[in-house]
Copies of this chain bind each other. A is one copy, B any other.
Amino acid sequence: MALKFEVLKKQGKSRLGKLHTKHGTIDTPAFMPVGTCGTVKAMMPESVAATGAQILLGNTYHLMLRPGADLVEKMGGLHKFMNWDKPILTDSGGFQVMSLTGLRKLTEEGVTFSSHVDGKKFFLSPEESMKIQHKLDSNITMCLDECVKLPAPYETVKKSMEMSMRWAKRSKEAFVDREGYGIFGIQQGGDYQDLRQISADKLKEIGFDGYAIGGLAVGEGQEVMFKVLDYAPGMLPEDKPRYLMGVGRPDDIVGAVLRGVDMFDCVMPTRSGRTAQAFTKYGPVNIRNARHREDNRPLEAECDCPLCRNYTRAYIHHLQKCNEVLAIMLLTWHNIRYYQRLMQGLRKAIAEEKLEEFAARFYENQAKGDIEPL
């Protein structure tokens, strides 16, 4: 296999690990900020690295539309194009294409869709997705799959999962193996335990460098998601990384790490940074709220990001009210740093076998809510 994964330590179902790629090593459990169009929105890549992020996620759908995989390849690959020399994982494009209601046509062969930008027609198949991700020079390529919104009837989920498994096989066959690069399979099966097992078995039979748990965070709510995570990660190989796609809120992540997940991605920290929401030890804070207007305290006293080190809540509130770009820049930075601090805390807790205490304290603090107004 072309990606090396080490499990350094285990506590309960949780694992402390290291995933080695051509562009560097990722400490797991890991959170991957999302760089949709070849940029983590409102962040310099060196700032993303400064938060502690060791890997980014790039979106195949967005990049194949603009600027196009051929151009990225011509420019030396996505790392060079976007000035990020650390690992990159790319999704398959499937999830976003499937979300284009009315603009797509799905067959066994693949999916035909129209660009949301200019209406231009595109075709995406397992083979095509592999080709694109190869051109992007992605360290971790994801299989093309279909993803069903939950809740959904058993037969619907089953049929979709079965096609995803055929696509997984085609993806693996089309993937070009290289040292330091790898491909992840994606488990489907919705919230049906037997389907999750069939899917996991099929993926193991094909063989992958890592295994994603797909089809969650698609409307089922945290309770159902945790119910699935109570069994789904255990169906996947012990010696490979497990990646929960599109998750999530800080409390989702803590719950998923407790259940044996190693990798995460989500637009939550970046998107929230553009809508005035900040994540903190004591839960989310909307900095637009008038109570911050004259508050000369930092957003979060313990945080070491530029926002918390150099500015008051009053200043960020002011920037927000004036729709200043710097508000977005600082809040995005803070949120990504918050997520990385959370992952660092989780890793340290597993290393010290104190994960349960860490999680208990985390949930307790989150429930407290933001500090009292001055």
Contacts and interface: CB of A to CB of B under 8 A. Distances in A.
Interface string A54-85: 00000000100011000100110000011100
A194 to B, nearest CB: 43
A311 to B, nearest CB: 6
Given A71-B294, A311-B83, A314-B67, A329 B322 contact: no
Interface in A285-332: 293-294, 296, 306, 310-312, 314-315, 318-319, 321-322, 324-326, 328-329
Contact of A324 (B39, B310, B319): B39
Interface stretch (A21-29, A40-48, A364-372): A40-48
A38 interface: yes
B81 A37 contact: no
A373 to B, nearest CB: 16
A315 B82 contact: yes
Interface residues of A, number: 34
A42 B322 CA distance: 13
Contact of A314 (B75, B296, B311): B75
Given A83-B310, A315-B81, A318-B67, A294 B41 contact: no
A202 to B, nearest CB: 37
A44 B329 contact: yes
A103 to B, nearest CB: 19
Given A42-B329, A325-B329, A294 B66 contact: no
A81 B312 CA distance: 7
Given A83-B311, A315-B81, A326 B75 contact: no
Nearest to A325: B42
A136 to B, nearest CB: 13
Given A81-B312, A294-B71, A296-B75, A324 B41 contact: yes
Interface in A309-358: 310-312, 314-315, 318-319, 321-322, 324-326, 328-329
A43 B328 CA distance: 11
A52 B71 CA distance: 35
A362 B262 CA distance: 57
Contacts of A322: 37, 62, 66
A273 to B, nearest CB: 10
Interface string A209-248: 0000000000000000000000000000000000000000
A145 to B, nearest CB: 26
A372 to B, nearest CB: 19
B42 A326 contact: yes
A335 to B, nearest CB: 14
Nearest to A324: B39
Contacts of A324: 37, 39, 41
14 contacts: A37-B318, A37-B319, A38-B319, A41-B325, A41-B326, A66-B318, A66-B321, A71-B293, A74-B294, A75-B312, A75-B314, A81-B312, A81-B314, A329-B329
Interface of A: 37-39, 41-44, 62, 66-67, 71, 74-75, 81-83, 293-294, 296, 306, 310-312, 314-315, 318-319, 321-322, 324-326, 328-329
Query: 4 nearest interchain CB pairs?
Result: A42-B325, A83-B310, A67-B318, A37-B322
